[in-house]
Structure 1
Amino acid sequence: MRKMLEAICLGLLAVLFWTSYSALNGPERLPDRIPTHFDISGQPNAWGAPGFLWFLPLVGTGLYMLLTVLGSIRYRRYNLPVRVTEANLPFIQDQTIIMVAWIKCEMLCLFAYLEWSIIQSARNGTFRLSPMLIPVFLVVIFSTVGWNLAALIRGAKQRAESSDTGRPMENSR
């Protein structure tokens, strides 16, 4: 699952870079000013040069790399409402890596949608973003965290109860 999510993330990064490149160098020229920021109602409130389109792929790459590094660190201490034991630690670590991979994919999907919306609004002259974007994105992120956290806690409890050495690790909470 994790490798598939990582492949999807890398594909989304490639899409982000390709979209920026094709929008800036393609046959349909962008106007001299494009929307670079939108308010809560979806109306643009900042404008900039078309070169701003490189911002989202670069930030997406930076966040992807940061989350990849942070997600790959094998912590031995977790603050969970379940005891962390030697038996359930590998499961907790694996589930945490999967949760981070889901969040990376969702974040890059948001960036791809934002970039596409900016390009379309600049080309069509509509200059509007859906006001439901941020609430939907927040629901998706918090649902992902909640779902994965529930699975992590349930699996960690099962592994801790089924092991013979159900001793908690030192400083595990």
Structure 2
Amino acid sequence: MKTNRPKIKVPLEGIDIVLDLISATLLILLIVFTVISYTELPDTIPSHFNAAGEVDGYSGKSMIWLLPAIGVVLFLGLYVINKFPHIHNYMVNITEENALKNYRFSTRIVRFTNLFIMVIFGLITYSIVESAKGNNSNLDSWILPFVIGTSIILPIAILIYQKKINK
């Protein structure tokens, strides 16, 4: 895809650095938690939960590595994509005058997405480990609303905000 969008480097602001650091820290904690918990897990662990938070699928304990592995790939992928904001999808024509504002907004959205993915993966992994140990993680009742809120409602609110700033 060839575009005539300006290729500029978006200077990082404090919030951008904080978001990247928190996301990276959560990813490291997810991996460390999985390493520490792995030896304590039974051979069969919960691998799927229904909408009520009840376990309705089981797998071998090696499946606990799936979320940290996907987390690493997503974190690195989103981090790299953020280095090229001119290839992001925009609902407005990008010009020299509005490039910085739109690129900054787009890269920040990607940073927040990375953060939410790390939070969700951490909560799910914690819930799986606690359920496998026979404990109630107390996350079952609100993890689904959290995921729906961060993956559906939040992006809609962000799009409305973006429309407002681009008027």
- Short-chain TM bin: 0.7 to 0.9
- Report matched runs for 1:6-17 at 5 Å: 6-17=20-31
Out of 67, 70, 74, the residue aligned to residue 63 of structure 1 is 74
CA RMSD of aligned residues (A): 2.4
Distance 1:48 1:76, change over 3 A: closer
Q: Percent identity?
A: 22
Distance 1:35 1:78, change over 3 A: closer
Alignment-derived partner of residue 35 in structure 2: 21
SS in 2 for 1:87: coil
Contact 2:85–2:107 at 8 Å: present in 1 too? Answer: no
- The unaligned stretches of length 5 or more in structure 2 are 1-14
Alignment-derived partner of residue 60 in structure 2: 49
Distance 1:128 1:122, change over 3 A: farther
Alignment-derived partner of residue 166 in structure 1: none
Q: For 1:145 and 1:127, locate their aligned partners in 2 and report how far apart those are by CA, in whole Å.
A: 28
TM-aligned CA deviation for residue 104 of structure 1: 1.0
SS in 1 for 2:97: coil
Quick check: 1:141 aligned with 2:155?
no
SS in 2 for 1:72: coil
- Report matched runs for 1:109-120 at 5 Å: 109-120=119-130
Counterpart AA for 2:25 = G
- Report matched runs for 1:122-161 at 5 Å: 122-124=132-134, 130-157=140-167
Alignment-derived partner of residue 165 in structure 1: none
Contact 1:31–1:50 at 8 Å: present in 2 too? Answer: yes
TM-aligned CA deviation for residue 61 of structure 1: 0.9
Alignment-derived partner of residue 92 in structure 1: 102
Distance 1:129 1:43, change over 3 A: farther
Distance 1:75 1:41, change over 3 A: same
SS in 2 for 1:41: coil
TM-score (norm 2): 0.78
- The unaligned stretches of length 5 or more in structure 1 are 158-173
For the pair shown, which has the larger CA radius of gyration, 1 or 2?
A: 1
The list of structure 1 runs, each at least 4 consecutive aligned residues, that deviate by more than 6 angstroms after superposition, is none
Distance 1:91 1:44, change over 3 A: same
Q: For 1:127 and 1:36, locate their aligned partners in 2 and report how far apart those are by CA, in whole Å.
A: 14
Q: For 2:35 and 2:62, locate their aligned partners in 1 and report how far apart those are by CA, in whole Å.
A: 10
